[in-house]
């Protein structure tokens, strides 16, 4: 790829910083088995789960979607999962779970408020 495309200056430094950040976020959970390939798969799943939690809910959020994502995230980043659950629950009122909240506002026609 490097021969075919021009790599921007500083790319390697930025890439290393991103990988370090995600490694730190998922360092709380580790798996070690006698099978090295299985260990690699677990590391890849941790990374994908954590990365997906960052990108899947950038703008459009809903109670069911976020709780499902966060349930999985709790396995690899418990602190971030707790923060996410607290955010999700902050949109509930009288047990009502809004379908959508965007930019901090509930955007749900069925909201009983």
12 pLDDT higher than 80: yes
Find the angle CA(67)-CA(109)-CA(105) to the nearest 5 degrees. 60
Q: Which residue range(s) make up the domain with 39?
A: 34-100
**34 band by pLDDT with thresholds 50, 70 and 90:** very high
107 pLDDT higher than 80: no
Q: Which residue has the higher pLDDT, 67 or 82?
A: 82
Structure tokens that stand for 1 in this block: 């790829």
The answer to whether residue 110 sits within a structural domain is no
The answer to whether residue 22 sits within a structural domain is no
- How many domains would you assign to the chain? 1
The answer to whether residue 16 sits within a structural domain is no
């Amino acid at each position: 790829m490097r021969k075919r495309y021009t790599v921007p200056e500083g790319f390697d430094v930025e890439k290393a910083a991103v990988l370090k950040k995600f490694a730190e976020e998922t360092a709380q959970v580790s798996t070690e088995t006698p099978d090295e390939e299985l260990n690699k798969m677990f590391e890849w799943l941790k990374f994908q789960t954590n990365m997906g939690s960052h990108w899947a809910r950038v703008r459009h959020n809903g109670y069911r979607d976020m709780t499902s994502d966060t349930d999985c995230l709790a396995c690899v980043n418990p602190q971030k999962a707790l923060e996410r659950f607290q955010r999700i629950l902050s949109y509930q009122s009288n047990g009502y779970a809004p379908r959508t909240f965007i930019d901090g506002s509930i955007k749900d026609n069925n909201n009983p408020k």
